[in-house]
Structure 1
Amino acid sequence: MNATDVVNLFHRHQIENNCMACYAKIYTIIFGALWGAIISAGIIGNIFIIFVILMDKKLMSSSVNQFLLNLAIADLGNLFFCTPDVLMILIDRAWILPDFSCNFVRFLQEYFLYASVLLQMAIGVERFLAICSPMRMQRFSTKTTVLVLGGVWCVAACFASPYFLFQGILIHRNFKYCAWKKLHNPWKDYFKNFEVVVLYAFPLILLTTLYSIMCRVLWGNRGEQNIANQNQQEAILKLRRSVVKMLIISMLLYFLCYTPIQILHLLKYAAPIWLRLLLNGLSFTSSASNPIVYIICCRHFRLRLRDLLASISNCCFWMFPNIGRTEYECVDEAMTTKLSRSPYVSFRSSRRQTSRHNLSTLL
């Protein structure tokens, strides 16, 4: 069960009841505000992550950051191509896009969703090899990273291809909706069960196992047995722990967001439409929450966000100079000079510059 299935159920329920306004206005208001906030925050956040990584050569030199870049692209694509379905539900209409776009949109929705979970698996494997077998491999080489990323996107395209081949426009009582057209039971059930295994069960088992082993290595006694240079290794160990924490939180959010809707599919529970719509919004949260996790857990993203907010603030003050003017700006010039020479002021400034200069990238 995913966004496509929920939308199809919604449209089918409308068509069977031969009405286009079967639900109260409060549904539109609540789900419109919920989905609008989630999708807007997710699109802005993932664009910010993409921009930060692309603009920093040090970040691009790390294989983890290249995976995070592609994960942000996948999450952005998932949110963007799910937006048309959200709008059709909110305006209470069936398929309003051109007929030829049906299978393209469905394919891209599943394509980016598959790519997202496959990239999380690739990140888990890369971290496992770097942390648990450091003598053989510290990190993926550039060539290996490119090959893995290319493989992820190709595999995602293969898994999502049935949506391109078998989805199409169905007409019922003069209403059009985009659904399975050429794939019928039991093959459709076989494919959906296979999708649950690939999209949910196997990644859950694999990532849980890998991160459990990594936690035992990083926080157990074995994490300190390979220390050659005490200070350097402690800094590396601390950074690796913070990265693994960030990845574990991202993984947990993904599975927490998708678990309820997968349970409904496996139990074939005929939940009310409002509950299915709510769980569908919860699944969007997975793609929207990753940038927030990165900003909270990674100091580099926090500093770049602070710089961005400062630039926006300066731009606003430049456009509207009277906004920031207060009585406290009229201070004695001699006092300002005296304060600027204070060792505490210069210490803070020097410390901030040194901190940004020595900022480390993700390992």
Structure 2
Amino acid sequence: MKPENFTEQCVGAEEFCNLSREEYITMLNEYIYPQTYEWVLIATHTAVFVIGLVGNALVCVAVYRNHSMRTVTNYFLVNLAVADFMVILFCLPATVLWDVTETWFLGDALCKIILYFQSVSVTVSVLTLTFISVDRWYAICFPLKFKSTINRAKTAILLIWTISLTFNAPELVVLTTEKLVPLRFDLEYLVQCTATWSYTSDLVWHITKVVFIYTIPLLLMTVAYHQIVRVLWRSDNVPGQAETIKLASAEQTQLRSRRKAAKMLVAVVIMFAVCYFPVHLLSVLRYMPNIKQDDILTCLALLSHVLCYANSAINPLIYNFMSGKYRREFKRAFCCSSTLSLESQTTTSRLTSKRQDMRCQHICHQRQYRNMCHTCLVRNSCRNNFMN
């Protein structure tokens, strides 16, 4: 029995001191229940979740099923898709729940693992885009000095994950759950997943991430793609070919293909820069002494989280709109096996016919082999070459 003169100490706002435990819990439940704008936020994240999972899975399936797409660039894009797929699957639901309820319900272990893995995935994404830009820069600007291979791409991907896991390791140590808002009862409400190191250390850490995981890689990619665009659009010559050689049909096709690939990669980099700029800006601004946490800053923070996850879902859409190969493979993923077989046979026959046609034209140009051209006189191009 409590003594008659015992007075229970009130924790938190005085207006809630007279509430019973049940009334107190009801009040907290009403507080964390989603408001109208938060339902819009949930719906937006749900759309990003579905599009991101399906799109990134299709990227992996497309490269796996089509051997001709197993290029160095596509290996890097698959690595990017794997990182995006995993962060959407494991990190997006937890972040939405946290943003809406202002409470981390998943415990201390998942606080460390989920936020650490989210940081790792962002680092993997930016390093992958950087490696792609450097690889394309060497291949297009210095075609005779550098040979890009699949084995080198696999080694680079292993290096990317090693650097990402190591760079973000401090978060595994400092992240933990804390009750930053005092409550009257021992309840798991308004718990936050936060870093335990000092204010200064946290500021230095975020500035370091902004510099090394956003600013410097973005500058490198900008310089690389600027030079790539200059080389690919300054003339009608494939890099590595002599200026005086007039491009054949196959070389023109190769040049157009490289230009399309460059446009697609530049679009991916621009979307990355746009989507991650707000979250990096806010991560530094919130430490400024004159910046106060108000409703506007909270809404901007929620919007920045949406953009980060949207970036993981938008890359497959870019591939679909800007790459014919990815678009065809995405369509094939929803077709039956007989259709796939028919398309494969049709594609093979077209390639074979094109090779025979090019070989025939080459022979027709050789005057000493005119007798060999009778088999291809039905082709107008060969007939014209023969008669001239």
TM score, norm. by length of structure 2: 0.72
Q: Aligned to 2:315, which of 274, 279, 290?
A: 290
Residue 165 of structure 1: aligned partner: 173
**Offset, 1:99:** 2.8
Residue 145 of structure 1: aligned partner: 153
Residue 68 of structure 2: aligned partner: 58
Amino acid at match of 1:34: T
Residue 198 of structure 2: aligned partner: 184
Q: 1:84-114: per-residue Cα shift (whole Å, max 9, x none)?
A: 3234236626222243222111111111111
- C-alpha change, 1:220 and 1:116, in structure 2 (3 Å) is same
Amino acid at match of 2:176: G
Q: Is the 8 A contact 1:103 1:168 kept in 2?
A: yes
- C-alpha change, 1:350 and 1:59, in structure 2 (3 Å) is closer
Total equivalences in the alignment = 304
Amino acid at match of 1:284: Y
Q: Aligned to 1:40, which of 43, 50, 53?
A: 50
Q: Is the 8 A contact 1:104 1:164 kept in 2?
A: yes
* 1:212 and 2:233 aligned: no
- Superposition pairs for residues 196-275 of structure 1, below 5 Å? 196-221=210-235, 223=237, 226-227=241-242, 230-231=247-248, 232-268=250-286, 269=291, 270=293, 271-275=296-300
Amino acid at match of 2:38: T
Residue 78 of structure 2: aligned partner: 69
Residue 10 of structure 2: aligned partner: none
Q: Is the 8 A contact 2:98 2:104 kept in 1?
A: no
For 1:265 and 1:158, how far apart are their aligned partners in 2?
21
- C-alpha change, 1:194 and 1:163, in structure 2 (3 Å) is same
Residue 385 of structure 2: aligned partner: none
Structure 2: stretches of 5+ with no match in the other structure: 1-26, 353-388
**Offset, 1:351:** 12
SS of equivalent residue, structure 1 residue 249? helix
- C-alpha change, 1:350 and 1:309, in structure 2 (3 Å) is closer
TM score, norm. by length of structure 1: 0.76
SS of equivalent residue, structure 1 residue 32? helix
* 1:115 and 2:124 aligned: yes
Q: Is the 8 A contact 1:114 1:199 kept in 2?
A: yes
- Superposition pairs for residues 80-119 of structure 1, below 5 Å? 80-89=89-98, 92=101, 94-119=103-128
* 1:193 and 2:210 aligned: no
SS of equivalent residue, structure 1 residue 170? strand
Residue 155 of structure 1: aligned partner: 163
For 2:321 and 2:348, how far apart are their aligned partners in 1?
18
For 1:224 and 1:155, how far apart are their aligned partners in 2?
35
Tell me how large the CA RMSD over aligned residues is. Answer: 2.7
Structure with the larger RCO, 1 or 2 (CA within 8 Å, 6+ apart): 1
Q: 1:62-90: per-residue Cα shift (whole Å, max 9, x none)?
A: 11111111010011122123223234236
For 1:351 and 1:42, how far apart are their aligned partners in 2?
28
Q: Is the 8 A contact 2:138 2:146 kept in 1?
A: yes
Amino acid at match of 1:354: T
For 1:288 and 1:198, how far apart are their aligned partners in 2?
23
SS of equivalent residue, structure 2 residue 179? strand
Amino acid at match of 2:277: T
**Offset, 1:358:** 4.2
Q: 1:113-142: per-residue Cα shift (whole Å, max 9, x none)?
A: 11011000000001001000001124x223
Residue 346 of structure 1: aligned partner: none
Q: Equivalent pairs: percent with the same residue?
A: 23
**Offset, 1:51:** 1.2
- Superposition pairs for residues 8-47 of structure 1, below 5 Å? 19=28, 21=31, 25-47=35-57
Amino acid at match of 2:205: F
- C-alpha change, 1:217 and 1:65, in structure 2 (3 Å) is same
For 1:118 and 1:67, how far apart are their aligned partners in 2?
10
Q: Is the 8 A contact 2:275 2:308 kept in 1?
A: yes
Q: Is the 8 A contact 1:261 1:279 kept in 2?
A: yes
Structure 1: stretches of 5+ with no match in the other structure: 1-17, 315-348
Residue 11 of structure 2: aligned partner: none
Residue 279 of structure 1: aligned partner: 304
**Offset, 1:297:** 1.3
SS of equivalent residue, structure 1 residue 178? strand
Q: Is the 8 A contact 1:102 1:168 kept in 2?
A: yes
SS of equivalent residue, structure 2 residue 169? helix
For 1:74 and 1:36, how far apart are their aligned partners in 2?
19
For 1:265 and 1:243, how far apart are their aligned partners in 2?
33
**Offset, 1:280:** 1.3
- C-alpha change, 1:267 and 1:150, in structure 2 (3 Å) is same
**Which protein is bigger by CA-based radius of gyration?**
2
- C-alpha change, 1:102 and 1:357, in structure 2 (3 Å) is farther
Residue 374 of structure 2: aligned partner: none
